[in-house]
Amino acid sequence: MELPPPGPRGIPPLFARLVDDSALFPPSEATMREALEKHLETRAGEHAGMLGVFLCQASRLPEMITELIKIRPAEPLPLSLIIDTGLGGVPKAISIVESRNELLSLRMVEMPAPSDVDEVWLERVSEFVPEDVVRVVEPRRGVGWLDGVRKVIEHGSWPKIRCGGLSSENFPSIDDVADFLSVVSSYPGASFKATNSLQRAVRHTDKATGFEHHGFLNLLVASARCLCGGDVREALASTDGEVLAGEVSSFSDPAAAAVRSLFTSYASVSFTEPIADLKGLGLL
């Protein structure tokens, strides 16, 4: 996948289309109408160049279409379809989206993998999702997890890594993330997506929960180091935003393109937090 072009107001290529909108997912409590209106407002705003696709569950497609008919967006909404209805529900969901191409532009289909990521299941994913739509599959962390990541890549899909959630078990360790990056980067041309609890740029401890959160800037630096043989774990563990910002500022254009070809985007319930953090670090 080619690196997206800079946004309309000169968003640096390293951050172009980096943040996918997951306002319909916990801990967000936005209604469908609120989430859509905010997304469209952001897409027309100053930092639109950082905004990627809008995420919607397959089970909520009728609700989303109803609201979009009322809103009447100027152009089709770039959509990532999150499959929460099982693999068998994929053809129907895609058919619904494609029947409303004046409202929706399907860019991506994402789904959790079964506990045992088998070849037959992955082949069906490839059959069900059109070739021009990105397939994203999330292997479940646990025994054999990295083998599942390898199978996903070998079947032409992007693996997804969940970086947090509502319980401590949802947060992968630094070693987990480093091992994941090592596997993905070992496949020429492979890409991955991240999700959950990455609203902030830099690794930090959440005061309310005590959970250690990964930072999306840490992931960008770790991806870069993974590609050039640097210290990936140090990048993931760093809580020094200025050091991380200095490192990404030194990326050449080819290096930035290579990083974003590997780490394509991440899903966030907030768009204001990543913008504020990047501004605070002098990166926007």
DSSP 8-state secondary structure symbol assigned to residue 3: P
Q: What is the pLDDT of residue 6?
A: 46
Tokens representing residue 31 in the block? 């209604």
Q: Which residue in the block uniquely carries the two structure tokens 């994203």?
A: 136
User: pLDDT averaged over the chain?
Assistant: 94
Tokens representing residue 86 in the block? 């099982």
- Whether the pLDDT of residue 2 is over 80: the answer is no
- Whether the pLDDT of residue 71 is over 80: the answer is yes
Coil vs helix vs strand at 94: helix
DSSP 8-state secondary structure symbol assigned to residue 142: S
Whether 80 and 107 have beta carbons less than 8 Å apart is answered as yes
Tokens representing residue 74 in the block? 């100027």
Mean pLDDT of 80-104: 96
- Evaluated on CA atoms 224, 279, 171, 266, the torsion sign reads negative
Question: What is the share, in percent, of the chain residues with pLDDT greater than 90?
Answer: 92
Q: What is the pLDDT of residue 9?
A: 58
Tokens representing residue 25 in the block? 């997912």
Whether 72 and 102 have beta carbons less than 8 Å apart is answered as no
Residue 208 buriedness (CB in 10 A; 0-12 / 13-18 / 19+): exposed
Q: What is the pLDDT of residue 8?
A: 45
Contacts of 106 (CB under 8 A, 6+ apart): 79, 81, 94, 97, 98, 130, 133
Distance in angstroms (rounded) separating the CA atoms of residues 226 and 131:
29
DSSP 8-state secondary structure symbol assigned to residue 87: G
pLDDT band at 251 (very low <50, low <70, confident <90, very high): very high
The angle at the Cα of 37, spanning 36 to 40, to the nearest 5 degrees, equals 85
- Whether the pLDDT of residue 90 is over 80: the answer is yes
The pLDDT tens digits of the residues spanning 175-204 come to 999 999 999 999 999 999 999 999 999 999
The pTM (predicted TM-score) of the whole model is 0.94
The pLDDT tens digits of the residues spanning 97-109 come to 999 999 999 999 9
Whether 39 and 6 have beta carbons less than 8 Å apart is answered as no
